[in-house]
Chains A and B, each alone.
Chain A
Amino acid sequence: MEHPLETIGRNMFAIFGVLALCGAAFVVASKSAVHSVIGFLFAMLCIAGCFLSLEAEFLGMAQILVYAGGIVVLFLFVVMLVEMSKKTEKTVFQLQSRYAVVAVMFGAAAFVGVFRKVIFGVASPDALVLRPELTQGLSVARQNAQALSRGLFSDFLLPFEILSVILLVALVGAVVLAKTERV
């Protein structure tokens, strides 16, 4: 017989997952956009908690740092400055709700179809690894951060750099879009 606190500790992932879902539901259901952003922030923090309970502490912290600290602030800026009229929506669900419901049901069916085995089946004992010879080095790492940096900066350097070039293209594009009005 284990102590109830230990049970809670083992089920941290489920707890944070349910809390994140509650936050996400709040995003959809709240009438003010700023409230939605707060719900989004809550959901992001809970997802960081999920990562932490899976011992992916670097990922969890990056989640807080990048999403909660950076991206949601930008969301908040946009929402605050656009929603100056203070007009709150009359109904929770908008005109598109019919199509949205159909899309959501289709998506849910596809999700259950794809993840049927994951949800109801038995988990595989071994992780799926595309190139096993590269993971040898990872077992030396003491921390998440070390393993991740090894993966990013030595084993998968080229894909990483190509990804950052794509981000650079997006950045330049944003600058060009913002500049054209003034020239």
Chain B
Amino acid sequence: MPTPTPIQSIVITLIQCLLVVIFVFVVVPLTVFAERKVLGHLQQRLGSTRVASGHVGVTGWMNRGMWKWGRVPVLSYWRGIPGLVADVLKLILKEDILPDKADKFVFFIAPALSMVAAVVVFAAVSFVPGVFFIFPTWFPYVGGLPVSGGIADINVGLLWILGVASVGVYGIVLAGWASNSKYPLLGGLRSAAQMVSYEVPLAISLLAPVVLSASLNFGEMSARMAIGLPFWGLVPQILGFLIYLTCGFAETNRLPFDMPEAENELVAGFHTEYSGMKFGFFYLAEYINMTVVAALASGFFLGGPWLLPFGLQGLVNPFLPAFLSWFGEPHAIFFVVKIIFLLFTYIWVRGTIPRYRYDQVMSVAWKYLIPMALFNLLLAALVRCFAV
């Protein structure tokens, strides 16, 4: 296998970045669409499960047949798509209003900060161990060279992820301040307090995988957590997953922890004064953050690119018959499927659980989640000490 020159490796890294951005911009609109559909079904919202583009196309023709036949159409997967298209068009075409008294520089930089902090996390995420694919030899300039499964699988990957995610707070705080208005400021402050609080149990719950796998590298961690743990490693993994997921909901400001934009208390929170594509950036950043949290949860707890979650793969693999060995190997598709399932869980929870009060949110973090995360860390240390 030829070794790339520095310039070629830069080109390959740029291609990887492009692939990740494409992945993100495919997943995010699909998540928005799925959110409309799933919430529509969960809460009997009429629009998003029924609006369709009329009677065009094959599905339209078949649906028309179904209605005539006196049945509700089964082929309604794409119903609600016009709503999504209208939403995106509105974001792009709407006038970009700048409040008179706003601080222009900060008002402009805040959405960019949230967006960048959300996307850059993916640099340290490794989608599949080793080589992802090899460029075919006819490919110009980089033909025949391997592309690894992560952009930069650095040995402090977890710290990079936590550090950059903590920079994301600035977007919200600065947006609240720059709008120069009451509700955005309150929303921004509340959200900053919430995110700073939930970062503590989040980081502690991620320490359990660090202790169990003795590494800070994303790829190594997910590999050890998936196939390198003894049976007792299950307990801290499952408990840690639940704690991590709860904190992840709070970190991404999703229901039941969507304090920053609690509509009936704060209008729309920190982005009250934002419109057009600046608001669109906050919107995108929220969904990218959801994807990031889902990627970390599936990487550290759900086995990453291996099929079975919670380290079960390592227990099952020795007994796997030869014709099923494809399922014992890591594949990027498993990783993506887990991310998509967790994104569905986000929507599921949003449709099910009502919002907490603000003091309840804080007491959940400080009185319950932090002690539980510490206990989980202790369990992980015991497993590491006696069972590995």
Q: Is the CB of B173 within 8 A of A58?
A: no
Q: Are A6 and B6 in contact, CB atoms less than 8 angstroms apart? A: yes
When A76-B170, A145-B156 are in contact, do A68 and B163 touch as well, CB less than 8 Å? yes
Cα-based distance from A34 to B176 in the complex (angstroms): 12
Chain A neighbourhood of B98, CB < 8 A: none
Q: Are A80 and B177 in contact (CB under 8 A)?
A: yes
Contact B6 A5 (CB under 8 A): yes
Contact among A5, A60, A69 with B169 in the assembled complex (CB-CB below 8 Å): A69
A117 sits at the interface (CB 8 A): no
How far is B178's CA from A86's CA once the two chains are assembled, in angstroms?
11
Say whether B159 contacts A32, CB under 8 Å.
no
Q: Are B163 and A76 in contact, with the CB atoms below 8 A?
A: no
Task: Judge whether B156 and A57 touch: CB under 8 Å.
Answer: yes
Residues of chain A at interface, number, CB under 8 A: 29
Residues of A within 8 A of B308 (CB): none
Tell me the bound Cα distance from A32 to B177 in angstroms: 12
Contact of A3 among B7, B164, B216 (CB under 8 A): B7
Closest 10 CB pairs of A and B: A69-B166, A64-B163, A61-B159, A65-B163, A61-B156, A57-B156, A143-B155, A80-B177, A61-B163, A68-B167
List chain B positions with a Cβ less than 8 A from chain A: 6-7, 10, 103, 105-106, 109, 154-156, 159-160, 162-164, 166-167, 169-170, 173-174, 177-178, 180, 185, 189, 192, 196, 199, 216
Q: Give me the interface of A with B, judged by CB distance under 8 Å.
A: 3, 5-6, 9, 32, 34-35, 38, 41, 45, 57-58, 60-62, 64-65, 68-70, 73, 76-77, 80, 86, 142-145
Q: A6-B6, A68-B166, A144-B155 are in contact. List 14 more A-B contacts (CB 8 A).
A: A32-B103, A38-B106, A38-B174, A61-B159, A64-B163, A69-B162, A69-B163, A69-B166, A69-B199, A73-B166, A73-B192, A73-B196, A77-B189, A77-B192
